[in-house]
């Protein structure tokens, strides 16, 4: 296993004026995004292809990335959605029986601009102290034009994130048995959701994020899954309206990540942005009913405000063990529930895969 020490110079310029100098890997050029950090030790290929990371420059806190290579099976979606990627070191001689290439070539193929050989611990501490902020990765020396670049960086905002990552048209996936038909709203759906439903004998109908509730109901689904996705949940007013209509209809619904947030908004709750978010495969979540703590995979910058959901409408079911933020809500006035974390995502903990079984049980009870 070899660590790369060469590469052309590259820089990270943050909105607060801080500049980190490192080396370039992956694609060359300049990119602007919201700089965040991910604490996962593995799953870097999944991170690079996760739609939830749309518009973001992702920093890995684990110091060595790429040691088991990449392959054609582990991507969450066919293309990358990150704006840029930052690591301490990357490995050019990976070793794994499943590997097909290294991360540098993968990033070049997907047009991902990368930066390595900077102090990622210092960058992470800065983001924890000051909150996530905009930044630029560039292979052009920024020092002679810093003020102009800072204006561009500070003006950047992530807009229309869901519309940028959703599918263009409906798609149907058939599993064995076809026990239930499930409509999945694609707000930035990762393949683990489809696979988890297919494994349970469901037929999956993936629909674009802007699909009208009436169109979904016309397909007579046994249940609806609201997928994870990127961006500010409050930006998706049409999706919130559709979810409200579905809730009034009584169809079983399961919200994951952004889908959980949109479900809460539809039911009268509120969302807010966290200072630096929860991103990684090691987030502890407490089940308030049993007191049990689960290790979960998460990737989000917004949360549902715990006391914003009216008591007569829903109850908080899970909280984050670290900061006590809302991680799940079960609704009393609708056949619906949602969780902030990602059950059974590839390469990450499987502690909470039972939630898909709970969703299937709700469909079964509704059918009976």
Q: Average pLDDT over the chain, rounded to whole? A: 94
d(CA 32, CA 51): 17
Confidence of residue 206 (pLDDT cuts 50, 70, 90): very high
327 within 8 A of 261, measured Cβ to Cβ: no
Higher local confidence (pLDDT), 350 or 72: 72
CATH code, domain with 296? 3.40.50.880
Does the structure show a pLDDT above 90 at 352?
no
One domain, residues 86 and 35: yes
Parallel/antiparallel/unpaired status of strands 271-287 and 293-304: antiparallel
Residues for the chain: how many in total? 368
Helices (H) and strands (E) in the chain, counts: 10, 19
Q: How many domains does the chain have?
A: 2
One domain, residues 208 and 285: yes
CB neighbour class for 250 (10 Å; exposed up to 12, middle 13-18, buried from 19): exposed
pLDDT in tens, 98-133: 999 999 999 999 999 999 999 999 999 999 999 999
**Number of neighbouring beta carbons within 10 Å of residue 22:** 21
One domain, residues 280 and 177: yes
One domain, residues 210 and 145: no
**Could you give the 3-state DSSP secondary structure of residue 126?**
helix
Confidence of residue 347 (pLDDT cuts 50, 70, 90): low
pLDDT in tens, 148-203: 999 999 999 999 999 999 999 999 998 777 789 999 999 999 998 999 999 999 99
d(CA 327, CA 306): 9
d(CA 162, CA 54): 9
One domain, residues 261 and 316: yes
Closest CA relative to residue 308, chosen from 343, 263, 275, 341: 263
Confidence of residue 5 (pLDDT cuts 50, 70, 90): low
Higher local confidence (pLDDT), 255 or 352: 255
pLDDT in tens, 50-77: 999 999 999 999 999 999 999 999 999 9
How confident is the model at residue 12, as a pLDDT? 98
Chain centroid to CA 104: 22
One domain, residues 96 and 175: no
80 within 8 A of 111, measured Cβ to Cβ: yes
One domain, residues 207 and 168: yes
């Amino acid at each position: 296993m070899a660590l790369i020490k060469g590469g052309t110079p590259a820089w990270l310029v943050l909105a607060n004026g801080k500049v980190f100098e490192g080396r370039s890997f992956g694609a060359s050029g300049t990119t602007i995004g919201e700089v965040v950090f991910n604490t996962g030790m593995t799953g870097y290929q999944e991170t690079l292809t996760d739609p939830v990371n749309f518009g973001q420059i992702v920093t890995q806190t684990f110091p060595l990335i790429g040691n088991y290579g990449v392959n054609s099976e582990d991507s969450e979606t066919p293309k990358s959605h990150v704006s840029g990627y930052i690591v301490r070191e990357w490995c050019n001689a990976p070793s794994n029986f499943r590997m097909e290439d290294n991360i540098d070539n993968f990033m070049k193929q997907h047009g991902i601009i990368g930066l390595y050989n900077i102090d990622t611990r210092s960058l992470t501490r800065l983001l924890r102290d000051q909150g996530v902020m905009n930044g630029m990765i560039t292979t052009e020396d920024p020092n002679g034009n810093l003020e102009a670049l800072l204006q561009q960086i500070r003006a950047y905002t992530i807009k229309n994130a869901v519309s940028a990552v959703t599918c263009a048209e409906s798609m149907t996936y058939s599993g064995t048995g076809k026990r239930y038909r499930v409509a999945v709203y694609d707000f930035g759906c990762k393949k683990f959701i489809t696979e988890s439903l297919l494994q349970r004998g469901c037929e999956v109908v993936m629909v674009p994020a802007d699909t009208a509730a009436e169109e979904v109901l016309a397909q007579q689904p046994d249940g609806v899954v609201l997928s994870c996705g990127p961006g500010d949940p409050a930006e998706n007013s049409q999706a919130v309206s559709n979810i409200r209509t579905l809730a009034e209809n009584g169809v079983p619904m399961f919200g994951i990540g952004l889908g959980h947030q949109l479900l809460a908004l539809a039911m009268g709750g509120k969302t807010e942005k966290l200072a630096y978010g929860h991103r990684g495969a090691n987030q502890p979540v407490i089940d308030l009913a049993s007191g049990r703590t689960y290790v979960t995979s998460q990737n989000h910058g917004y949360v549902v405000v715990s006391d914003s959901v009216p008591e007569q409408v829903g109850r908080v079911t899970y909280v984050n063990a670290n900061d006590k933020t809302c991680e799940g809500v079960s609704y009393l006035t609708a056949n619906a529930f949602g969780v902030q974390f990602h059950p059974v995502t590839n390469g990450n903990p499987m502690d909470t895969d039972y939630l898909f079984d709970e969703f299937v049980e709700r469909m079964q009870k509704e059918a009976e």
